[in-house]
Homo-oligomer: A and B are copies of this chain.
Amino acid sequence: MAIWYDEVHNDSTRFGCKLTKTLFVGQSDFQKVAVVETEALGRALLLDDLWMCAEGEEKTYHELIVHPALTTAPRIERVLIIGGGDGGTAREVLRHPEVRHVDMVEVDGMVVEACKEHLPSVGTAWGDPRLHVRIDDGIKFVAEATVPYDVVIVDGSDPVGPAVGLFNETFYRNCARLLADHGVFVTQSESPNVHREVHLDMVRTLGKVFPKVHPYYDTISIYPGGTWSWIWASKGTNPHEPVLERVARLEDVTDVYNLEMHHGVFAVPNAIKRALRSS
């Protein structure tokens, strides 16, 4: 008997994978954590029964949450990651030799431990001495920290459960305060199809905090609506002027990101442009 697991979106569409093995199931203080093996996409992490990351599909998400920011911030010595418990975001950040210090603040230690053990192909940079992992509340961390970062990346889950505080103006203002003047802020910003209002609200709210706010998009088959979005924001840097040497250095190692993709993902579909103009 084949075992399928489907994530259901709004009780009306669903995406499922055939499972070959369950590797880990645990209940942390924050959420249900599971790692399974799928037939099509390798091993996958689920949080509260939602697909978060699968080996055969994670490159798009992790390359795109990192490289548009890491190629456009003029300096990238100090990087802060909020969330990112599977280690994929840190892995991509640490591909840049200019990066000297990464603080990764993940609220749920069980996610980090489960991914270190069961998803080692995603988090390949845990041993990098530049990476400093703290199991702590990212919302509290950005409210209290004082040493500025060149790039701040918010790689949290959805605006329910432990990540809900990553989706409001107070949090964004603290991130902006913590960002060097030349710095770049980036956050995942939900499915532009299935969570369109959440996505639009994030663009609008970040627009109150940062002078430059640019949503961007790509396909991720395991996420609701088959697509995902991120928002790039800064106090003045231009998203369309990446440092070309940094882009070129990535060409041999990335599956998705390259110079064409860098510019291409910032194209905003017409219906979203209209919705943002009318608000």
Asked whether A14 and B10 contact (CB < 8 A) given A226-B219, A226-B227, A263-B263, the answer is no
Asked whether A261 and B257 contact (CB < 8 A) given A14-B16, A17-B13, A225-B219, the answer is no
Q: Mark A50-61, 1 if CB is under 8 A from B, else 0.
A: 000000000110
Asked whether A267 and B270 contact (CB < 8 A) given A41-B13, A218-B219, A226-B219, the answer is no
Query: Is A170's CB within 8 Å of the partner chain B?
Result: no
Query: Is A40's CB within 8 Å of the partner chain B?
Result: yes
Asked whether A221 and B255 contact (CB < 8 A) given A260-B268, A265-B264, the answer is no
Give the CA-CA distance A278 to B257 in the complex, in Å: 18
Give the CA-CA distance A16 to B12 in the complex, in Å: 8
Is A16 in contact with B10, judged by CB distance below 8 angstroms?
no
Query: Is A38's CB within 8 Å of the partner chain B?
Result: yes
A202-261 at interface with B (beta carbon < 8 Å): 217-223, 225-227, 251, 254-258, 260-261
Asked whether A4 and B14 contact (CB < 8 A) given A256-B270, A257-B270, A258-B270, the answer is yes
Is B13 in contact with A16, judged by CB distance below 8 angstroms?
yes
Query: Is A98's CB within 8 Å of the partner chain B?
Result: no
Measured between beta carbons, the chain B residues less than 8 angstroms from A18 are 11-13
> In the complex, which of the residues B4, B40, B193, B226 contacts A10, with contact meaning CB atoms closer than 8 Å?
B40
The residue in chain B whose Cβ has the minimal distance to the Cβ of A222 is: B226
Query: Is A269's CB within 8 Å of the partner chain B?
Result: yes
Give the CA-CA distance A271 to B271 in the complex, in Å: 29
Is A255 in contact with B267, judged by CB distance below 8 angstroms?
no
Give the CA-CA distance A38 to B14 in the complex, in Å: 12
Q: How far is the CB of A11 from chain B (nearest CB, A)?
A: 7
Would you give 5 A-B contacts (Cβ < 8 Å), ordered by A?
A6-B14, A13-B17, A13-B38, A223-B226, A265-B267
